[in-house]
Amino acid sequence: MNLKEILSKASSEHWAIGHFNVSNLEQIKAVVGAAKKSNAPVMIGTSEGERNWFGLENIVALVESFKNEWPNIFLNADHTKTVSAAHDAVNAGYTSIHFDGSALSALENTSKTKQVVDYAKSKNSEISVEGELGYVKGESQITGKKVELKPSDYTNPEEAEDFVKSTGVDRLAIAIGNIHGINIDEPKLDFDRLAEIRKAVPENIAIVLHAGSGISDEDIKRAISSGVSNIHISTELRVAFREGMEESLKDNPKEYAPYKLDAQIVEDMEKLIVEKIRLFGSDGKMV
């Protein structure tokens, strides 16, 4: 199945495919290992900063090589802010593009998202394109801050309906109180708004929840039952990497072989991803 088909299956069966951001080989190994153990489809995401670090062709080649081990992996160009950067990702071989025009005016967001959709589909009709409506604040860090949200930050259901029709996107990223990173306050998701968005947007459009790291398990489950079929995790994976690295260095003060130090780090991250896959209900879906 391609990504659109898997997301459709997830939506109809009320589970979600996990999207995990990576910026090094260890994280890729952890995502693929967890997916394989769980018999689950996964999305591997790279933000503009992450893919600049890898190099576009390098990350595409890496993920393609890991597909020999587990084919149910989809590479997403996460939070792409310009049309040209989206085109570059398409040309490099990404199977999914997230165009983030949330900081633009509604008219410009719609226009540029449609440009990305049209270009991607002209190159490969199976490329899945995600647009974003509403503004998800924060950053993928542990901030120790309180993030204030305004009513204008949230996705408007009526605007969502028009946006999807006008752009032709396959997925819609929404803002319903979700906040990037792990902050002082736990996000308070507006489930009534989520229900309105799900009702306004055609069933074949996947609803995407970014910033899943700071959201409680209970709210994640409720979001999935309310129509979310794709959830992003970044900060928690970064934390697992850093804490695992610190622990590995502490436990092995005289070890200098990176691959030996990395083994425990990958294992810790893999364990976290397996837990997330189970929470999302996507385990066993590729049997």
Catalytic residues: 78
Cβ within 8 Å of residue 89, ≥6 positions away: 51, 56, 77, 80, 97
Using CA atoms, how far apart are residues 236 and 242, in angstroms rounded to an integer? 10
Task: Kindly state the tokens that stand for 19.
Answer: 């999207």
Cβ(272)–Cβ(236) under 8 Å? yes
Task: Kindly state the tokens that stand for 45.
Answer: 């995401």
CA 237 to chain centre: 12
Report which secondary-structure segment, H or E, holds 113: helix 106-123
Could you give the 3-state DSSP secondary structure of residue 42?
A: strand
Using CA atoms, how far apart are residues 183 and 86, in angstroms rounded to an integer? 30
CA atoms within 13 A on the CB side of 180: 13
Using CA atoms, how far apart are residues 150 and 124, in angstroms rounded to an integer? 38
